[in-house]
Amino acid sequence: MAPVLVLWLAMCLGATWAVDRGNFKTCDQSAFCKRQRALKPGDSPYRALLETMELTNTRLTLQLINDNNKVRLLLELYRLQGNITRVKINELKPLKPRYEVPDVLIRDPPTEPLSVLSQDESGVVLSLGAESQRVIVSVRPFRLDIMEGHDVLMSLNSRGLLAFEHLRMRKDTRADPEAEKKEEADSADQAEATKEEEEKAEEGMWEETFKSHSDSKPNGPSSISLDFSFPGVEHVYGIPEHADDLKLKTTDNGDPYRLFNLDVFQYELYNPMALYGAVPVMLAHNAQRTTGIFWLNAAETWVDISSNTAGKTVFGKMLDYVQGSSEIPQTDVRWISESGIIDVFIMLGPTPKHVFSQYASLTGTQSFPPLASLGYHQCRWNYNDQEDVRSVDAGFDEYDIPYDFIWLDIEHTDGKRYFTWDPHKFATPKEMLQGLLDKKRKMVAIVDPHIKIDSNYKIHNEIRSRGFYVKNKDGGDYEGWCWPGNAGYPDFTRADMRAWWASMFAYDQYEGSMENLYTWNDMNEPSVFNGPEVTMHKDAVHGDWENRDVHNIYGLYVQMATAEGLVQRSGGVERPFVLTRAFFAGSQRYGAVWTGDNAAEWDHLKISIPMCLSLGLVGISFCGADVGGFFKSPTPELLVRWYQTGAYQPFFRAHAHLDTPRREPWLFGPENTALIREAIRQRYTFLPYWYQQFYHAYRTGEPVMRPLWVEYTQDPATFAVDDEFLIGQNLLVHPVTEEGARGVTAYLPGKEEVWFDIHTFQKHNGAQNLYIPVTMSSIPVFQRGGSIIPRKMRVRRSSSCMEHDPYTLYAALNARGVAEGELYMDDGHTFNYEKKEFIHRRLSFSNNVLSSVNLVPDSHFTTNSWIERIVLIGSSKPAKVTLKTADGIESQLEFDFDASMSVVTVRKPGMNAGADWTVTLE
């Protein structure tokens, strides 16, 4: 109990500063969650009607009946290519259509044939393709069990928590006698249903009030729920966004994890409260298998997690083990959503990488970002005027610190009218942008989705006249308070609205914009200062649907339309860069996300790791946290440590609140300036590796920043690690996130592995906890033995300035003297990579020969870059080193040997980075 008490105390103390929890609903305050959670596990009232079963080549359909109210549901079951099973459940005859989330799946997922293996009155056994996988449909009570061999991988409704609130007419105020008649004349089933159903009109079904806000609920109760069980699983992950540990906790003694996009002011850590984004994807992992659930629903969603081993102490578990009386560990989860249908994709792995690829086949992969966006971003709310921008830009040159993007927050606009510039402070934006362009640098300006209601504002007038605003429940334009005061919210769920929005980014529409100006979408949950829970009223109307149905996907649409605008303005040539705060499943296709308004506190630095790891697991690789912390002012030590951490996280941006003192890297004395400079420079030397990782993420859906267990799937010691992480497979980072740290203990995974300190080349064995003494300049990073990492060691003032620079190859040999890696390059900013205009090579070292071979022979791209140095880490001393180029010419290369660390440095081999070659050690 002690740790719980400490946690509780910490939370109470934290509350003096942090979020006003009262502004946000608990499950108890959310009527549908309360209703659903009141339902306890037990026998399900649902029964499968086998006589209604239809099996076509691509799907099985089957009706389910609720024996309590006789309402029928339609179950659809699909086998999808790539080891995915899709289960859809909707009302057989809903009163009106229920929302099915569009635009998230990248296509209609291709199916595979299903076949019946056996059938009797108690159920059906279906084969799930070639592997020995089967799904068992049990009739009474209805449940689904997915098996492989003798193992149950996952069960649905095994706890009887399938609950489907069917749409109904309101009884107490049934004003329309026509409708009544019509309903009476309805099918026999339906009549039966309405009669049988002695439904209690519970509070909150037809109307709900939270604080001063009332939700009219014209459609009445419509929530859905389903439970999933994972036998043999003790670790589940995902369902971002929460400021919590990587490994999800059980929720028996508190609220479920909530998925509902919200602008949370000064969010608290280590709790299941909803934040800015929602990705309803959960991964379940044990040493044998990884599986995933994708719950495609955009309404407010709560996820309950329980486990039969969670309460047990290590001793208890050991006792179980010794006594052999252990029940199989099992994790049970339950999903509850306010509206829509049950549409769930069961990704059966079996490895984490299979799950990533399965999820990517549904929702797409991370967009391939422009290379420059992987550099360092300097942001602040706000750089005051053009002179301010110029002097900060000059500061980076003066202190010789590289950066690629400088950012402008809301104050750059003319009175918070997006797409405009303050006429005094930013009178000549093109001049400013040209100044940055001259130094090969770029800018991001904010464009939020709330539009100032002002008849002199072109954007507002156009949206209003085209009827593009979200409507309120009474049919008028929905209005809410945000930065500009009274604002309208464009209906981004409409394709025509998005097309219009995209057209506003054309150079002739967005005055003062240039090709080096990119975009940031903030407040797109959407944030409504005077709305319930600081967001839009759920009964606001988006075409045929309520905000209730579409809420969590609104932010995705904003970023989608914006990214499309940036693509279109260049005629489809240039890659966009758009940062978003709100997100949903599929947001990875449109750009980067950040973890919102964090604070300058050590715990916020720590939490940035699990928050970005969780996002990576569900496809969103381009993640970062505000370096330094948004609210409050960091101590120099915290700021330095944050730069050191951020330099090894995917999206690397410093940001600060308007009310905080300046904190550009050079404002904390020469020592801290040097430390920050060094951290940023390390980032730039690794840009070729980052870029290759992002190309890989774009191709495969694998996360760039990943938890250790993704690579070391069988090592339970890695399963809950979230104070360190991997970048790709080859870099392990354990940033210092403790104040006054003298050392950190890093877990180096892999029995077979060796790890090399990237700074000293010192070798460490895998599968050990390694204590690393640290100073202020330490960033503990290790390269995996067996890998080759290309770097560019000539750090210049921006990534574009380094385009033609030569590479240094760092080959760290494993115990068998082997290493492998990849080298990827292209123009860095266009879509020409889609036309194979790139160089992608495999680098491998074995039998004392390092070679570079083309991975994609029909690719075509040329580079001036060459190989300036090869560093062989963990190598013995060769007698000579010989280069053989593609034309067969051999030449001797000079080299150095450092005996203390066993490092061979080959001097200036000089071959073109795009060519075939071998380097032989003899």
Partner 1 sequence: NKMLSSEMWIHILAIALFCCGSADSRKVRGISSSYKRFYREKKSFLCIDGSKLIPFEQVNDDYCDCADGSDEPGTSACPHGRFYCTNLGFRPHYIPSSRVNDGICDCCDASDEYNSHARCQNTCWNLGQRERAYVEGQMRTLDEGLRLKQQLIEEGVLLWREKQAQLRELQQVAEDLQIKLEEHRRKKREADRFKEQTLRALKGGDGGKSFHLKNKTLGGILICLFCNPYSISLDEVKAEVVPVHDEERHLGDDEAMVLTTTESAKTNRTLTCVLAHLLNTNKKFTVQGIKKVSFCWVLICDLQKKLAIDYGTDWEFLFLNGQCYKLKVYEYMYTLCPFNHITQKSTAGTEVSLGLWGMWAEPAKNRYNQMIYENGEPCWQGGSRSTTVTLTCGTETALRSVKEPSKCQYIMDFQTPVACQPVLKQRGVHSEL
Q: Show Cβ contacts of residue 51 under 8 Å, excluding neighbours closer than 6 positions.
A: none
Q: Helix axis angle, 495-503 relative to 554-569, nearest 10°?
A: 40
Cα–Cα distance, 149 to 486 (Å, whole number): 61
Binds partner 1 (CB under 8 A): choice among 388, 515, 603, 916: 388
Q: Quote the least distance from Cβ 216 to partner 1, whole Å.
A: 37
Residue type, 92: L
Smallest distance, partner 1 to C-beta of residue 383, A: 9
Q: Minimum distance from CB of 684 to partner 1 (Å)?
A: 10
The smaller minimum CB distance to partner 1, of residues 425 and 538, is found at 425
Instruction: Specify the 3-state DSSP secondary structure of 720.
Output: coil
Contact between 659 and partner 1 (CB under 8 A)?
A: yes
| Single-letter residue type at 808 | T
* For partner 1, the closer CB: 27 or 795: 795
Kindly tell me which of 40 and 424 has the beta carbon lying closer to partner 1: 424
Which residue in 121, 662, 858, 887 binds partner 1 (CB under 8 A)? 662
Side chain identity, residue 452? K
Name the segment binding partner 1 (CB under 8 A); options: 188-196, 526-534, 547-555, 658-666: 658-666
- Where would I find the beta strands (DSSP E) of 595-723? 623-624, 652-654, 705-706
CA pair distance 680, 358, nearest whole angstrom: 35
Rounded to 10 deg, the angle between the 458-465 and 495-503 helix axes is 160
What is the nearest approach in angstroms of partner 1 to the Cβ of residue 395?
A: 11
DSSP letter (8 states) at residue 551: G
Q: Which of residues 92-111 bind partner 1 (CB under 8 A)?
A: none
Cα distances (Å, whole numbers) of residue 742 to 483, 636, 739: 44, 17, 9
- Told to check if 740 binds partner 1 by CB under 8 A, we report no
Stretch that binds partner 1, among 351-359, 380-388, 736-744, 882-890 (CB under 8 A): 380-388
Work out how close the CB of 829 gets to partner 1 at its nearest, in angstroms, rounded to a whole number. 14
Exactly one of 409, 522, 539, 722 is catalytic; name it.
Answer: 522
Asked whether the beta carbons of 589 and 365 are under 8 A apart, the reply is yes
Among 390, 440, 458, 471, binds partner 1 (CB under 8 A): 440
Contact 723, 708 (CB under 8 A): no
What is the distance between the alpha carbons of residues 579 and 588, in angstroms, rounded to a whole number? Answer: 11
Strand residue runs (E) in 795-916: 807-812, 819-825, 839-846, 849-854, 867-873, 881-885, 890-898, 903-907
Residue 660 beta carbon to partner 1: minimum distance, rounded to whole angstroms = 7
The token pair at 630 is 């948004």
Q: Does 658 bind partner 1 (CB under 8 A)?
A: yes
Residues 204-263 that bind partner 1 (CB under 8 A): none
Using the minimum distance from each CB to partner 1, give the nearer residue, 184 or 400.
400
Q: Tell the smallest beta-carbon distance from residue 796 to partner 1 (Å).
A: 5
Residue 408 CB, nearest distance to partner 1 (Å)?
A: 15
| β-pair type (213-215, 151-156) | unpaired
Supply the Cα-derived Rg of the chain in whole angstroms. 29
Tell me if 695 sits within 8 A of 714, measured CB to CB. no
Question: Is residue 393 flagged as an active site residue?
Answer: no
Site size for partner 1 (CB under 8 A): 27
CB of 658 to partner 1, least distance (A): 6
Q: Which of 655, 627, 666, 653 is nearest to 397 (CA)?
A: 666
Residues 534-573: x where in contact with partner 1 by CB under 8 A, - otherwise, as a string: ----------------------------------------
Q: Kindly state the smallest distance separating residue 413's Cβ from partner 1, in Å.
A: 14
d(CA 608, CA 605): 5
Nearer to partner 1, 384 or 885 (CB): 384
107/424 with CB nearer partner 1 = 424
**731: which 2 tokens?**
């870099």
Of 208 and 411, nearer to partner 1 (C-beta) is 411
Question: Which residue of the set 227, 597, 722, 805 is catalytic?
Answer: 597
Nearer to partner 1, 22 or 661 (CB): 661
**Rounded Cα gap, residues 114 and 146, in angstroms:** 14
Q: For residues 96 and 424, which CB has a smaller minimum distance to partner 1 in the complex? A: 424
- Interface mask (CB under 8 A) for partner 1, residues 604-643, using x and -? ----------------------------------------
Give the C-alpha distances (Å, rounded to integers) separating 199 from 46, 74, 179, 854.
Answer: 17, 22, 19, 68
Site string for partner 1, 335-374 (x = CB under 8 A): ----------------------------------------
Q: Binding mask 419-438 vs partner 1 (x if CB under 8 A, - otherwise)? A: -----xx------------x
Residue number, 195 or 907, with CB nearest to partner 1: 907
62-67 long-range contacts (CB < 8 A, ≥24 apart) are 62/137, 63/92, 64/89, 64/142, 66/164
Which residues make beta-bridge pairs with 592? 579
- Looking at residue 138, its amino acid is S
Closest CA to 595 of 645, 660, 529, 668: 645
Regarding 907 and contact with partner 1 (CB under 8 A), the answer is: yes
Convert residues 849-888 into a mask of x (bound to partner 1 by CB under 8 A) and - (unbound): -------------------xx-------------------
Point out which span in 64-72, 652-660, 691-699, 853-861 binds partner 1 (CB under 8 A): 652-660
Gap between the terminal Cα atoms of the chain: 62
Pick between residue 304 and residue 868 the one whose CB is nearest to partner 1: 868
Site stretch for partner 1 (CB under 8 A), options 20-28, 191-199, 214-222, 656-664: 656-664
How far apart CA 512 and CA 433 sit, in angstroms, is 9
130: CB partners within 8 A, 6+ apart:
none
CA atoms of 452 and 531, how far apart (whole Å): 16
Whole-Å CA distances, 47 to 65, 122, 159, 532: 5, 10, 14, 39
* Segment interacting with partner 1 (CB under 8 A) among 165-173, 241-249, 254-262, 384-392: 384-392
Name the minimum Å distance from CB 659 to partner 1. 4
CB nearer partner 1, residue 741 or residue 801: 801
Cα–Cα distance measured from residue 747 to residue 848, given in angstroms and rounded to the nearest whole number: 30
Q: Does 661 bind partner 1 (CB under 8 A)?
A: yes
Q: Contact between 660 and partner 1 (CB under 8 A)?
A: yes
The correct pick among 21, 140, 439, 473 for binding partner 1 (CB under 8 A) is 439
Residues in the chain: 922
Q: How far is the CB of 428 from partner 1 (least distance, A)?
A: 15
Measure the CA–CA gap between 248 and 240, rounded to whole angstroms.
10
Q: Which stretch binds partner 1 (CB under 8 A): 195-203, 406-414, 608-616, 659-667?
A: 659-667
Rounded-to-5 percentages of helix, strand, coil across the chain: 25, 30, 45
Phi, psi of 681 (to 5 degrees): -65, -40
CB 338 within 8 Å of CB 370: no
Binding mask 394-413 for partner 1 (x = CB under 8 A): ------x-------------
Nearest C-alpha neighbor of 310 from the set 236, 414, 222: 236
597 tagged catalytic: yes
* Nearer Cβ to partner 1 (200/662): 662
x/- track of binding to partner 1 for residues 770-809 (CB under 8 A):
-----------------------xxxxx--xxx--x----
Q: How far is the CB of 400 from partner 1 (least distance, A)?
A: 5
Active site residue ranges: 522, 597
Binding footprint of partner 1 on the chain (CB under 8 A): 384, 387-388, 400, 424-425, 438-440, 658-662, 793-797, 800-802, 805, 868-869, 907-908
